[in-house]
Amino acid sequence: MKNLVITAALLASLGSAHAGPSIVVDGSFEQQAQASGTWGVYQTLPGWTTFAGAGIELRNSVAGTASSGKNFVELDSHRNSGMSQTLTTLAGSFYTLSFDYSAREGIAAASNGIEVLWNGASVATLTADGTGFSGSNWNLYSYNLLGTGSDVLGFRSVGTNDGFGGSLDSVAVTTAVPEPATWAMTLAGFALVGFWLRRRRSNR
């Protein structure tokens, strides 16, 4: 039993020191050209598909600026809308979803709601009050999710249906990759467990 406890502790040490590459296609919404100072509503963007409402509103330096690159997305485009992307994952593996969210400048919290979905189930609902600032006020959010082999990541606007909503940028889904030093420490730990087991048998 003791060796099982030691092994479990060593496995627990395999923390996620840094993330692997994102499996999301165009999580920063840069592949669709959008001129500075303009916006457009699209049924599809590279990797993304509208599943509800009027479409995906892509903006470039309109009512704020992107958290990375030039483009970002709003989902209250004419009316509340939703977008999704199907991801290929490894069944039983955990993934980290991260993205930047900002309330729209000058708009109350009731209009800025965005719901995060994983295979149609609600992960979180975000909202913030934009009446106190101008431009974008980006904040990073992250959630741990379980892969099933093929998973659908979705976002939809759930605020007041008025054409003014919260913004998204820098969407990523990654697996955790331990640092080389972490692997080395873990392997050394397993070696110690093996030594302890051999010594225990020889003392019997």
Over residues 46-60, mean pLDDT: 98
Domain boundaries, the chain: 1-17+179-204, 19-177
Model confidence at 83, pLDDT cuts 50, 70, 90, reads: very high
> Does the pLDDT of residue 154 top 80, yes or no?
yes
- Does residue 12 sit in helix, strand or coil? helix
Cα–Cα distance, 161 to 86 (Å, whole number):
26
Torsion of CA 40, 42, 46, 50, to 10 degrees: 140
Yes or no: say if 55 and 43 are a contact pair by the CB < 8 Å rule: yes
20 pLDDT band, cuts 50/70/90, is confident
Q: What pLDDT was estimated at residue 73?
A: 99
CATH 2.60.120.260 is held by the domain 19-177: yes
| Per-residue pLDDT at 11 | 40
* Residue 40 to residues 58, 67, 78, 84, Cα–Cα distance (Å): 5, 18, 11, 18
- 69/12: higher pLDDT: 69
Residue among 122, 118, 116, 126 nearest 159 (CA) = 126
Decide if pLDDT at 10 tops 50: no
- Cα of first residue to Cα of last residue in the chain, in angstroms, is 17
Question: Is the per-residue pLDDT at 98 higher than 90?
Answer: yes
- Checking if the pLDDT of 182 tops 50, the result is no
Identify the three-state secondary structure at position 139: strand
